[in-house]
Structure 1
Amino acid sequence: MYKILHFSGGVYKFDLLAEHVEDVGGLLFQENRLQIRKGSYFLSEEVQVILMVPFNELSSIRELASEIKGEIEDVEIEEPLKSNLIHSLDIYNILCKADDWVDQNIISEIEEEEYNTTGTGLAEFDDDENEDDNDHVQDKLKECLDLMISLELIEKRGTKGKSEYRILKDNNI
């Protein structure tokens, strides 16, 4: 499972932490940078970011954060949002592998295959094969996708009456 954490610290070597989080299968959310100035003089810059990492990597994340003079705090999140964030990581991985626009129905099918293989995913809400449960899974998928859009992780477009999603492309690259 995953743990949701808050990092705050300087920007010096922050990229090392960000790269390590991604390497261990984690994800960074809502990166904010704060610059402190006095008049026209720059005094300091701080980074604050929410991250999600696997439990077995907590010690390495905390150690690296300490090395770069940052602080890690646990974040307590209400269950519906926490569940959506964790399921968002699965969706994020699907979209990373596709590296292009993906239809919501395709994401749903891949999530269902993942559930049949590992027993985790949005399909865990679909114990019976009736239509109401399938609608519930589709609603949960839509919630996760909307959350990811609000966190600026993915983007959405409508094509031929269908919604397609992809990883948000950085225009600065």
Structure 2
Amino acid sequence: MYETLTYTGGIHKHDEMIELIEDLGGFVLQENISQMDLVLTLAVPIEDVEKIKEKAKELLGTVKIAPMAGTEIAIVSPTLARQHLPHSACDISEYLRRYGAKDNMIGLSRGAGKGISRISEDEKKLIEEHDLVVFALGSFKECITHKTHLFEDIETPVVVTGAPEIDLEDIPGADAYVGGLGRIPRRLKRGENIRALKKLVEVIEEILDGRRREIMDDPPIVPSVLVKREIENQIPAIKEVYSPLPVVSQLMGVRVKLNYDEYHKEIEDVIVSDHRLGDISEILKSKMYDYTLVKLLSETSII
């Protein structure tokens, strides 16, 4: 079992931290450098967490649990128009990243309007490629309860946000609802906004923990973090991808930011713990820029 952590510190001697992570059999999931500051999202064996904390103290950095690391979350807004973006949805996205999540913002092409809002099949399929989806809706109860058709048949766990307090039973199709996060024409910096964001994090963590427990009952043969590392090591084209996180970890697979038609055969032939990746997973074309999705099969489905 691996523990996911976030290390925050300076870039001075940060290679020592990376070397320690690799020596312990861990993985760097994400690396962000801003001027002289460094943020690493990493996964290490649970028994070695204290060694990471000791090294962080030596380097004058800090370490904290990153419960959302290794997951990909969609933040969905009814439209890309200014009344929906950028404030609330962008701040939700930025806040979730602090807890290790890799999130993608999606604006629906016809989501505006209580009576005319729609979601296409391609949009649903794109959303379902993620581990969890947050629908960032508006400020009126009637508007939110009349837009449940946007997510009621989506298989991915759904968290809905809005301004009013609403009973979950009034929002069919949602796994959770968090109030206090409606359409606000400013940054979410006030006390009530921060409390709502913290509540959202708690709700998402609870859902993801439940999903992890389900996976542990019938896990994949190899963990997704190991698949990520082997793809990065065995496919040279990954080094030419300039997009952030060329390989994104998910709970049951990875998203590879390489064109499916050109690279899926090469990805299928990657060897992970003596297994050919194509034999223990489904390799699919993503709805996102024709990237490649690797969906790991569970142990019982392979036997």
**Residues 157 and 164, structure 1, Cα contact 8 Å, conserved in 2:** no
What's 2:59 paired with? 68
- 1:87 is matched by which residue type in structure 2? P
Residue correspondence of structure 1 range 102-141 to structure 2 within 5 A: none
What's 1:90 paired with? 226
Alignment match of 1:144 (pick from 253, 270, 288): 253
Displacement of 1:22 in angstroms is 1.0
Give the total of aligned pairs. Answer: 110
**Gaps in structure 2 of 5+ consecutive residues:** 69-207, 237-249, 271-303
Moved over 6 A (4+): 81-84
- 1:73 is matched by which residue type in structure 2? K
Q: Following the alignment from structure 2 to structure 1, what is the Cα–Cα distance between the partners of residues 229 and 37? A: 29
Q: Residues 142 and 58 from structure 1, CA distance in 2 versus in 1: closer, same or farther, beyond 3 angstroms?
A: closer
Q: Following the alignment from structure 1 to structure 2, what is the Cα–Cα distance between the partners of residues 158 and 7? A: 36
Displacement of 1:93 in angstroms is 5.3
Q: Following the alignment from structure 2 to structure 1, what is the Cα–Cα distance between the partners of residues 212 and 259? A: 20
Q: What is the percentage of aligned positions where both structures have the same residue?
A: 24
Q: Residues 33 and 58 from structure 1, CA distance in 2 versus in 1: closer, same or farther, beyond 3 angstroms?
A: same
TM-score (normalised: structure 2): 0.31
Q: Residues 143 and 2 from structure 1, CA distance in 2 versus in 1: closer, same or farther, beyond 3 angstroms?
A: closer
**Residues 25 and 44, structure 2, Cα contact 8 Å, conserved in 1:** yes
TM-score (normalised: structure 1): 0.52
Q: Residues 8 and 142 from structure 1, CA distance in 2 versus in 1: closer, same or farther, beyond 3 angstroms?
A: closer
Secondary structure, aligned partner of 1:5:
strand
* CA RMSD of superposed structures (Å): 3.5
1:18 corresponds to 2:18:
yes
What's 2:266 paired with? 164
> Structure 1, residues 34-76: CA drift from partner, whole Å, max 9, x if none?
12xxxxxxxxx10011100001111111101110111000112
Q: Following the alignment from structure 1 to structure 2, what is the Cα–Cα distance between the partners of residues 15 and 76? A: 24
Alignment match of 1:56 (pick from 43, 47, 54): 47
Q: Following the alignment from structure 1 to structure 2, what is the Cα–Cα distance between the partners of residues 16 and 5? A: 16
What's 2:161 paired with? none
Displacement of 1:158 in angstroms is 3.1
Q: Which is higher, the Rg of structure 1 or of structure 2?
A: 2
Q: Following the alignment from structure 2 to structure 1, what is the Cα–Cα distance between the partners of residues 259 and 57? A: 37
Answer 1 or 2: which has greater strand percent.
Answer: 1
- 2:56 is matched by which residue type in structure 1? A
What's 2:6 paired with? 6
What's 2:29 paired with? 29
Higher relative contact order (CA 8 A, sep 6+): 1
Answer 1 or 2: which has greater helix percent.
Answer: 1
Secondary structure, aligned partner of 2:39:
strand
**Residues 4 and 41, structure 2, Cα contact 8 Å, conserved in 1:** yes
